[in-house]
Amino acid sequence: MVTIGLDEVGRGCWAGPLLAAAAVLPNDYLSSVDLPKLRDSKKLSKLQRQKADRWLRQHLVAFGIGWVWPQEIDEFGLTESVRLAFTRALESIAIEYDELILDGNINYFRDNPRSRAVIKADDIVPCVSAASIIAKVTRDAYMAELDGSYSPYGFDKHVGYGTAAHIEALRKYGVSDMHRLSYKPVQAFL
């Protein structure tokens, strides 16, 4: 049975993209002697996530990434942006599947009888954990890279979340084109 796991990262960020990943583990993944911890990416250390990400990129049957940019989030809203990120991630892999499992309580593919949403799937369903790890590592790396062009904002440290340092940067430098203008905390700095 082929199961595609889907998870997203960056929903609550004030800046940067929303990103979803889709992942398909090999059927024999449990027999791998070097199998890393597969669980919710937020429950792993940065080092554990990076190690797992390297393993996953070498061993996954397929994976895909779906990016949704700040301007799209402002235009479509958060719910539709999450759906778009999941759709883009799923469309970027070409594999026949039996089941889609999405992390959370909303099934963004209700019209697809093979899909279902599972609360905390990123911690209990290995292919969703894999998607969670791929998504988090990919987005964090992008935000660190983005920091080179937007260094006053400290994106490499807070990756777009509303920390005290991010608030201070917004006070000093204003809003950048990587900020989500539809988010109320960001609107306070316009």
Residues 97-127: tens digit of each pLDDT? 999 999 999 999 999 999 999 999 999 999 9
Say whether pLDDT at 30 is over 80.
no
Confidence of residue 31 (pLDDT cuts 50, 70, 90): confident
Sheet holding 115-118, edge to edge: 62-68, 18-24, 3-9, 99-103, 115-118
Residue 8 one-letter amino acid:
E
Residues 163-176: tens digit of each pLDDT? 999 999 999 999 99
Residue-level pLDDT at 32: 77
Is residue 178 assigned to a domain?
A: no
What CATH number is given to the structural domain containing 15?
Answer: 3.30.420.10
Is residue 181 assigned to a domain?
A: no
The number of distinct structural domains making up the chain is: 1
Residues 51-76: tens digit of each pLDDT? 999 999 999 999 999 999 999 999 99
Put residue 97 in one of left, alpha, beta given phi > 0 → left and psi -120 to 50 → alpha: beta
Is residue 182 assigned to a domain?
A: no
Is residue 70 assigned to a domain?
A: yes
Longest dimension (CA), the chain: 53
Give the structural domain span for 87. 3-140
Nearest alpha-carbon partner for 89 in 30, 158, 10? 10
Is residue 93 assigned to a domain?
A: yes
Mean pLDDT of the chain: 95
Is residue 147 assigned to a domain?
A: no
Residue found under tokens 């316009």: 190
Is residue 23 assigned to a domain?
A: yes
Residue-level pLDDT at 104: 96
Confidence of residue 35 (pLDDT cuts 50, 70, 90): confident
Tokens of 1: 């049975």
Residue-level pLDDT at 96: 93
DSSP string, 150-164: SGGG-HHHHTT---H
Is residue 158 assigned to a domain?
A: no
Tokens of 100: 């889609």
